[in-house]
Amino acid sequence: MRKKEQMEDLQIEYSDRDITPWGGMKLMKNLVDQTAIKAYMNTLDLPEPGSNRGYDPIDIIESFWVSVWIGASRFTHSSWLRYDNVLKKIFSWKEVPSQSTFSRFFHKFTWKRNDAVFPSLQRWFFEQLHFNNMTLDLDSSVVTRYGEQEGAKIGYNPRKPGRPSHHPLVAFTPEMRMVVNAWLRPGNTADLSNYRSFLDETFSILSNKKVGLIRADSGFFANGFMEYCEERNLNYINAVKFYKPIKNEVFRQKGWVALYDGIEITDWSFRLPGWSRPRRMIAVRKNLSKRPKSGGKLLLWDGIDERYRFSVFVTNLDLPAQMVWNLYRDRADAENRIKELKYDFGIDSFCLSSFFATEAAFRLIMVAYNLLSLFRQIVLRERKQSTLKTLRFKCFALGAWMTKHSRQNILKIALAREKRAWLDGLFDITRSARPPYRCSNA
What is the tens place of the pLDDT at every residue in 294-328? 677 666 554 555 688 889 999 999 999 999 999 99
Residues 77 and 96: beta-carbon distance below 8 Å: no
Residues 211 and 234: beta-carbon distance below 8 Å: yes
What's the distance, Cα to Cα, between the start and end of the chain in Å? 58
- Give buried/exposed letters for 215-240 (b at 16+ CB in 10 A, else e): bbbbbbbbeebbebbeeeebbbbbbb
Rounded to two decimals, what is the model's pTM? 0.92
Which three-class secondary structure state does DSSP give residue 215? strand
CA 259, chain centre distance (Å) = 33
- DSSP type of residue 301: B
Which three-class secondary structure state does DSSP give residue 77? helix
- Distance CA(373)–CA(178), nearest Å, equals 7
378-409 residue pLDDT tens = 999 887 888 999 999 999 999 999 998 888 89
Return the number of other C-beta atoms located less than 10 Å from residue 320's C-beta. 12
The partner residues of 317 in beta bridges, in order of sequence, read none
Q: What's the pLDDT at 406?
A: 85
Among 301, 263, 303, 302, which residue's Cα sits nearest to residue 283? 263
Tally of CA atoms within 13 A in the half-sphere of 58 that contains its CB = 15
Q: To 5 degrees, how large is the angle CA 180–CA 184–CA 190?
A: 105
SS3 sequence of 136-164: EEEEECCEECCCCCCCCEECCCCCCCCCE
Rg of the chain over all Cα atoms, to the nearest angstrom: 25
What percent of the chain stands above pLDDT 90?
65
Instruction: Report residue 80's pLDDT band, with 50, 70 and 90 as the boundaries.
Output: confident
The partner residues of 282 in beta bridges, in order of sequence, read 267, 313
Q: Give the mean model confidence (pLDDT) for residues 244-248.
A: 88
176-197 residue pLDDT tens = 899 999 999 988 888 778 889 9
Q: DSSP H helical segments within 156-254, as ranges?
A: 195-205, 223-231, 244-252
Domain boundaries, the chain: 19-110+345-432
Q: What's the pLDDT at 1?
A: 47
More confidently predicted of 388 and 290? 388
127-171 residue pLDDT tens = 999 988 899 999 988 888 887 888 878 888 778 888 888 889 999
- Distance CA(343)–CA(354), nearest Å, equals 23
- Distance CA(168)–CA(116), nearest Å, equals 19
- What is the dihedral angle through the alpha carbons of 266, 267, 273, 279, rounded to the nearest 10 degrees? 160
Among 5, 2, 26, which residue's Cα sits nearest to residue 379? 26
Instruction: Report residue 367's pLDDT band, with 50, 70 and 90 as the boundaries.
Output: very high
Q: What's the pLDDT at 162?
A: 85
- DSSP type of residue 12: P
- Distance CA(96)–CA(87), nearest Å, equals 10
Residues 362 and 181: beta-carbon distance below 8 Å: no
- Distance CA(332)–CA(295), nearest Å, equals 12
Tally of CA atoms within 13 A in the half-sphere of 206 that contains its CB = 22
Residue type for 87, please?
Answer: L
Residue type for 283, please?
Answer: A
Among 181, 125, 172, 166, which residue's Cα sits nearest to residue 337? 172
More confidently predicted of 200 and 189? 200
- Distance CA(425)–CA(435), nearest Å, equals 19
Q: How far is CA 4 from CA 1, 7, 11, 173, 435, in A?
A: 9, 9, 21, 59, 61
Among 238, 116, 133, 143, which residue's Cα sits nearest to residue 176? 133
Average pLDDT for the chain = 90
